Structure 1
């Protein structure tokens, strides 16, 4: 087991799914944690559980990352309290699968606020703390939706495409500060993400046999922490598909039209 003793790691979207799994795994590895999510009750319960089961310190911040003032105030407070942060894992995000005719402007704006703008602001506000760490690490959870365009995910895909573009430029900007930047591109994962993205459950049924388990994602991220790794792509076969898509987009869209229309 890798030892993250005396490392301080911040995780957004930490109250459930991949974020909660990361918090538990990293606490077991000895890391001190800063956890952000909307649910105060879930965060408090998680904090108590982690501190009781592992010899770590855990701070929690209840914040709606779609609210610009609330997140700005929270990031400033964290920066003041933590002059050094060893890793930032931007896990918070959500999607709504709608055609562009059905999409609500309020949903579009909220997806960009949470998936893109809060991610960018967290890095901008906390970069001095990350720079103070020796070989600090920024991990941004993106998606294969940012690499492969599919119907009914034009807005969600656009937010994840923005995360990929931002992360790739950021990597070049801060490489002299001895900071690593890794993007995590995922296919569908068995989490409560689909309660919002796919309330009907139709898409989940269509892709159930392809879905990842959260623990597989958690293990891959923990294994990559504090190592120079450009991307984590899961599942591997989807990475191959994305490469083919970029080389032969028209042919791929024709061949996989049925699969692309599963939402």
Structure 2
């Protein structure tokens, strides 16, 4: 049976990838910071689907964690056929007023850990001349987003990096793809710090996580370096940089995302 490694698998998109891959015959390796939800998900999938599920709790914001993860899969002789680099988070607000440690942790997780895991797991895939790497990007990677400035920049990296690796590896039997969802019904907004009553997102509503992951897995079958998922509005949003000057687009988006002044009673 093929085996998939999913980072950020304790909730949201990562957990849904596990739930949808299990009935497709994948054994799984699940990793995230929180062990209890990983253990619960693993036990459910073992019982319901009869698959092997390994749990490796790690904090990928720590510099040595990607090597630890690769080493643990090697020590357990777990061949990874599908790597899903899903772990990541955002931070909403004025960049200059944001928490510096949170910003640097975002870069470590969204870029450095993803790069390191891609590099390490790509080596055995090249030796076998088979394997797939899905890097979870965002429609935010297609244009600058004031007040989500660093997050959007990290996802621009994911998009460019993945498309380049797709071209480098496509003739070696290896797929590399950036999956780019829009606003999705996960805990992203809470972690990013969006105010509960704030309507900063330019996209109306949140796409169901089940639909986003199903579309991503269908996209994985195609020979492309990236795929926008989560509905027609996301395709429209990612087309805007081709229609408007980038500085104009940044100003428009900035007005939509600008934190609203508190109102007095």
Same topology, TM > 0.5: yes
The answer as to whether partners of 2:146 and 2:254 remain within 8 angstroms in 1 is no
1:105 aligns with 2:100: yes
Determine the C-alpha separation between the residues in 1 that align with 2:94 and 2:155: 17
1:194 to 179, 189, 192: 189
Structure 2: gaps spanning 5 or more residues: 261-265
Partner of 1:169: 164
Instruction: Map Cα deviations across residues 5-60 of structure 1 (whole Å, 9 max, x no partner).
Output: x1111111001011111101111111111111111111111111100001211111
Instruction: Map Cα deviations across residues 217-249 of structure 1 (whole Å, 9 max, x no partner).
Output: 111122233442322213322322322323422
Determine the C-alpha separation between the residues in 2 that align with 1:247 and 1:52: 51
1:44 aligns with 2:29: no
Structure 1: gaps spanning 5 or more residues: 1-5
The answer as to whether partners of 2:200 and 2:259 remain within 8 angstroms in 1 is no
Partner of 1:65: 60
Superposition pairs of residues 61-210 of structure 1, within 5 angstroms = 61-82=56-77, 84-133=79-128, 135-203=130-198, 209-210=204-205
2:240 to 244, 249, 252: 244
Q: Give the 3-state SS of the residue equivalent to 2:97 in structure 1.
A: coil
Q: TM-score, normalised by structure 2?
A: 0.88
Instruction: Map Cα deviations across residues 83-141 of structure 1 (whole Å, 9 max, x no partner).
Output: 63211111110001121221222111100111011101111111133235564211110
Determine the C-alpha separation between the residues in 1 that align with 2:232 and 2:128: 32
Q: Which moved more, 1:251-260 or 1:163-172?
A: 251-260
Q: TM-score, normalised by structure 1?
A: 0.89
Instruction: Map Cα deviations across residues 175-217 of structure 1 (whole Å, 9 max, x no partner).
Output: 2321111111121111111111135223458667331110111
Root-mean-square deviation (CA), in Å? 2.2
